Amino acid sequence: MYNASDLKKGLKLEIDGEPYVVTEFTFSKPGKGQALYRTKMRNMVNGNMFDRTYRSNDKFKKAELLERAMQFLYSQGDEYIFMDNQNYEQISVSREQLGDDLNFMIDNMDVQILLFQGRTIGVTLPNSVNLRVIQADPWAKGDTTGNDSKPVTLETGFVIQVPPFVNQGDLIQVDTRTGSYMTRVKE
Amino acid sequence: MPTKVSSTLKILEERAAITQAVRSFFIARSFLEVETPIRIPAPAPETHIEPQKSEGWFLQTSPELCMKRLLASGCNNIFQICKCFRKGERGRLHLPEMTMLEWYRTNADYQQLMHDCENLLRFLIPNQNLVLGNKTINLNGPWLRITIDAAFKQFARMSLETALSTDSFEEILVVDVEPKLGINTPVFLIDYPAEMASLARLNPITPQTAQRFELYIDGIELANGFSELNDPVEQRLRFEKEREVIHSAGRSAGPMPENFLNDLGAMPDSAGIALGLDRLVMLLTNSQCIDQVVTFTPETV
């Protein structure tokens, strides 16, 4: 069990049988009055956001989440198939649950599958991945528009802003947490 | 590589200058600077302020009781800058160990303390313009005094009575009212409900309210002052009530502060106020978080 004083950004709680993560946290306490622990939370199953205020005496359950190392095999319609490398067990995760993480997923990639009460609720990707640029307009020499970035399309279909020197066929490193370009990978 | 301290050298220099200016303000007005023990056998029982234990005694949550005993023993106007400790308080504006400026006037009431606040801030900010972010709070002209009742009518989604009867006073105060207070000029929120009088004297004509106020600047509560109750019988009753609430919440209340109650009858009519020095430095240095104005936080010390 957690107490109100344990609340902080990133804490994962179980409320009415669902896992929530605290995305914003404010402690307030008017003079001589009782403390308020104001939070914004995200439902980790359906993504819904909501506000909740706790008091000093409130207690709540820790969300028991498990992480399991798996490999992404392939997609089949809206289903994405992962395999446990230890026992070869396969599971499928829906497009909905993967959300924006799909922008960074390629076949045979190692990920952590996040489980709550045996149910898959999402994946945790590595902080950065290497992805191939499949479409890029060449940077015109003498371009004087002053733009220091251009959009390119990656092998996952994700469009990203990169520096002008990145070409079609290049491999680049992308930050999966922010979706931003990090560096060009030498091959 | 040493751990980085919380504040910058520039803010530490400003903080030192502010502290010295506060001292000279009070000394110039013939206040006596005092030091009372930080570790005490019995703090005032207050439902929502939890003291930190220390070898069977307590670290003070405020120097209030000892300073009032000084008034009872013949001191007149006194001030103190000291550390106070409150368990579990940590946030953008809260530290479990903070610095308090506390001052007391004999033969005075809470009105006089509000004038002190105006004079102190105007003394600390010679050009009378407090710059916060991209706005400026002007210290000239009268600072608004608004009763809690009126503030709820003006800013809150429900009346003060409804908030009190549904145990949502703090939530409505924090969410609806506080952010609106002290935006163009500092504001005194005055006349707290009698059940929140704590150690304050009730208004003689409207005893459902207490002569207590809080000072707000830019939505931040900076000081809490009141006309002091000096009736030991009434004070003991209030303490007993507080102790019952503390017990029913499953905590243990410290012992009754008997020495304080014994001396209280000898205290002349007085008024006293606590002002958060860390928050004052925050405002004067245009800082966003209390961490920026102290050397170390609980997380880095």
ipTM: 0.87
User: Tell me, what's the pLDDT at A137?
Assistant: 84
Query: For residue B173, which residues of chain A lie inside 8 Å, CB to CB?
Result: 30, 33
Query: For residue B48, which residues of chain A lie inside 8 Å, CB to CB?
Result: 29, 32-35, 56
Over the stretch B114-154, which tens digit does the pLDDT of each residue have?
A: 999 999 999 999 999 999 988 999 999 789 999 999 999 99
What is the average pLDDT across B77-89? 97
Over the stretch B204-230, which tens digit does the pLDDT of each residue have?
A: 999 999 999 999 999 999 999 999 999
For β-strands A119-124 and A128-135, DSSP reports them as unpaired
Query: Does the pTM exceed 0.80?
Result: yes
Coil/strand/helix, residue B118:
helix
Residues near B162 by Cβ (< 8 Å), separated by ≥ 6?
none
pLDDT band at B1 (very low <50, low <70, confident <90, very high): low
User: Tell me, what's the pLDDT at B97?
Assistant: 98
Over the stretch A161-183, which tens digit does the pLDDT of each residue have?
A: 999 889 999 999 999 988 899 99
Rounded to the nearest 10 degrees, the angle between the axes of helix B9-28 and helix B110-124 is 130
Coil/strand/helix, residue B106:
strand
CA-closest candidate to residue B235, choices B264, B206, B215 = B264
Q: Which residues of A touch B (CB under 8 A)?
A: 5, 26-36, 38, 53, 56-57
User: Tell me, what's the pLDDT at B232?
Assistant: 97
Q: Which residue of B has its CA nearest to A3?
A: B88
User: Tell me, what's the pLDDT at B165?
Assistant: 95
DSSP letters for B251-274: PPP----HHHHHHHTTPPSEEEEE
Q: Residue B58 pLDDT more than 90?
A: yes
Residue with the bigger pLDDT between A146 and A30: it is A30
Of A27, A30, A34, the CB nearest to B90: A27
Q: Residue B288 pLDDT more than 80?
A: yes
Percent of chain A at pLDDT > 90 equals 54
CB contact under 8 A, B49 and A5: no
User: Tell me, what's the pLDDT at A124?
Assistant: 87
User: Tell me, what's the pLDDT at A158?
Assistant: 94
CB contact under 8 A, A29 and B48: yes
